[in-house]
Amino acid sequence: MYRSRILGLVSTWILCFVFLAFSSANGFSFEHGGRNSVFEAQSIAAGWVAEDADNNLIVLTQNFIAYFLCIITIAPFVRIIGREILRNLAISALLLWVTLSFFWSVSAVTSGINAIRIICCVALAIYLPKRYAVNDLLKLLLLVGSVAATASLAMVLFFPQYGLQNRSFSYAVGAWQGIFGQKNICGLSMTLLLLPVFFVELSARFGRVFKTGYVFVVLVIIAETQSVGSWVVTGLCLVFVAGMTLLSRVGRRETHVWVLGFLSIAVGASTIVYMNSNSLLSVLGKDPTMTGRTAIWASLLRSVEQRPVLGYGFRAFWKPSVGSSSAAPIQGRPPGLTYAENGVLELWLDSGAVGVALYLLIYLRAVKNAIFCFRRNPSPAVMWYATLLFYVAATNIEGGYLMLPSLLACILPFVAYWGLGNEASHLRLAAAS
């Protein structure tokens, strides 16, 4: 059944490549090896490889192929996808807003191109549950995760100049990054690809063995990234999955008692963490500035104040052409910094307060639908969607992404936003009939 329905489809293997490309966040480790090896530094000088993904010929070609395959895959469903986008006013408004930012962007071409890219990504997110049953989609993501894990292990064992982080930094030398461009990206991407295993239904013959092996290998990779943020996000997600699974098995009358218990534990734990934050950060190898992030945020907030409502245009803030109006206020920023180290702040720079408000509206509506659906039908699909919502919140504590094109971590949440709305509508119709 699994082989005939999933592995036998051409679209499965096309999407596997697309998802791998989009999970790597602007290039695989062997495409950015100049950070690790003399050979790739020579490739940078030759112009074939660049530290900046926007100037990296290999990465640009890879992204072009990924989007081309994405477009031809979803093309037969384009009318259905268009109707679904228009039916969801909040998502439509957000996409329209980032497109209109072309007119006030500090780099109009950049905003225009990236608006097209994010529209393609949202269209892909709506296509997935239209084309695949949710359980089949989870199997597809496990296929992607299996390929990513296997390839990452191969990189670490046989090509350590790419699979291990050996940059000229004073920390995390030797951390695993596998096929990904950086250890944090590796950790968070593998965490995202770990989540489907807890909700997928596989045949009893090999399902338990596969799940156990998959969880073990992925957790080993996450542990070896030495990414504290990934450790924390993975731990929080595992606790969330365990708690949600427990709640789904208790009676409705007992649910309120368990929820109050979990909330009490969460509040207590959060208070302890806050009161001992410096000590805990020190144990985890962090400092109170969160590896310089607080200084970056302080500088960027001054840039936000210059354009609080409209922002600088979608994905335009970090372009070199912006000049003194944006990137210059950051003094002593790390070389190659092209990201605000926080998803909400990044979206504010891109799309202003309006863009942040629209995204927050979409997210909160999805949370409301998740609670509604979970109380009435805690299916594996609903629980996976809810876990994606939690993943978005957890990753944005210190970093995270919300609206970055070509990133799987931004595409799958839109699958959850649309999916939860669809599940809630079906449940309401069933209750009314």
pLDDT tier for residue 315 given thresholds of 50, 70 and 90: very high
Q: Residue 289's CB: how many other CB atoms inside 10 A? A: 13
The predicted-structure confidence for 58-90, as pLDDT tens digits, reads as follows 888 888 999 999 999 999 999 999 999 999 999
d(CA 268, CA 272): 6
**Identity of the highest mean pLDDT range in 14-18, 23-27, 245-249, 428-432:** 14-18
What percentage of the chain reaches a pLDDT higher than 70?
77
pLDDT of residue 332: 33
pLDDT of residue 188: 94
CA 193 → CA 77, 145, 165, 342, distances in Å? Answer: 26, 5, 21, 21
Question: Tens digit of pLDDT for each residue in 225-240?
Answer: 999 889 999 999 999 9
Three-class secondary structure assignment of the chain: CHHHHHHCCHHHHHHHHHHHHHHCCCCEHHHCHHHCCHHHHHHHHHCCCCCCHHHCHHHHHHHHHHHHHHHHHHHHHHHHHHHHHHHCHHHHHHHHHHHHHHHCCCCHHHHHHHHHHHHHHHHHHHHHHHHCCHHHHHHHHHHHHHHHHHHHHHHHHHCHHHHEECCCCCCCCCEECCCECCHHHHHHHHHHHHHHHHCCCCCCCCHHHHHHHHHHHHHHHHHHCCCHHHHHHHHHHHHHHHHHHHHHHCCHHHHHHHHHHHHHHHHHHHHHHHHCHHHHHHHCCCCCCCCCHHHHHHHHHHHHHHCCCCCCCCCCCCCHHHHHHCCCCCCCCCCCCCCCCCHHHHHHHHHHHHHHHHHHHHHHHHHHHHHHHHHHCCCHHHHHHHHHHHHHHHHCCCCCCCCCCCCHHHHHHHHHHHHHHHHHHHHHHHHHC
- 289: containing domain: 2-432
Q: What are the backbone dihedrals phi and psi of residue 122, each rounded to the nearest 5 degrees, phi first?
A: -70, -40
| Predicted pLDDT of residue 298 | 83
Q: Is the pLDDT of residue 37 over 60?
A: no
Return the amino acid letter for 154.
A
Q: pLDDT tier at 422 (50, 70, 90 boundaries)?
A: very high
pLDDT surpassing 50 at residue 39 = no
Report pLDDT for 376.
87
Reported as a single tens digit per residue, the pLDDT across 114-150 is: 999 999 999 999 999 999 999 999 999 999 999 999 9
Which residues lie below 8 Å from residue 168, measured CB to CB, with a gap of 6+?
none
Q: Which residues fall within 8 angstroms of residue 214, CB to CB, at 6 or more apart?
A: 142, 145, 146, 149, 194, 197
| pTM (two decimals) | 0.88
Arithmetic mean of pLDDT, 409-428: 94
Residue with tokens 């660049």: 50
Query: Count of alpha carbons within 13 Å of 160, Cβ hemisphere only?
Result: 5
Closest CA to 123 of 162, 78, 90: 78
pLDDT at residue 50 is higher than 80: no
Between 289 and 340, residue with greater pLDDT: 340
Number of domains in the chain: 1
Range with the poorest average pLDDT among 268-282, 337-351, 362-376, 412-426: 268-282
